[in-house]
């Protein structure tokens, strides 16, 4: 839905099961939308870093993204 209607959406509320919070939130943030997400946002620190990078961009202080290896 976001890929087709993103121009008509101002914000996204994520109220899905816990394991889906991060993917829905990151998708919306990458489209530049405001996101309200229920706790927990993520399941591990790598997902938290991904969310921070998506929200603030790679040049934001303290927002480092390192993919899992």
Q: What whole-number percentage of the chain has pLDDT above 70?
A: 77
Who's near 37: CB < 8 A, 6+ residues apart? 13, 14, 21, 24, 25
Global pTM reads 0.65
Q: Residue 58 has what pLDDT?
A: 55
Mean of pLDDT over the chain: 75
In CATH terms, is domain 2-56 a member of 3.40.50.720? yes
Who's near 52: CB < 8 A, 6+ residues apart? 60, 62, 63, 65
């Amino acid at each position: 839905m976001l890929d087709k209607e993103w121009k008509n959406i101002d914000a996204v509320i994520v109220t899905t099961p816990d394991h889906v919070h991060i993917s829905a939130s990151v998708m919306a943030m990458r489209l530049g939308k405001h996101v309200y997400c229920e706790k927990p946002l993520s399941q591990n620190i790598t997902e938290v870093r991904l969310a921070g990078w998506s929200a603030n961009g790679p040049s934001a202080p303290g927002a480092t993204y390192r993919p899992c290896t």
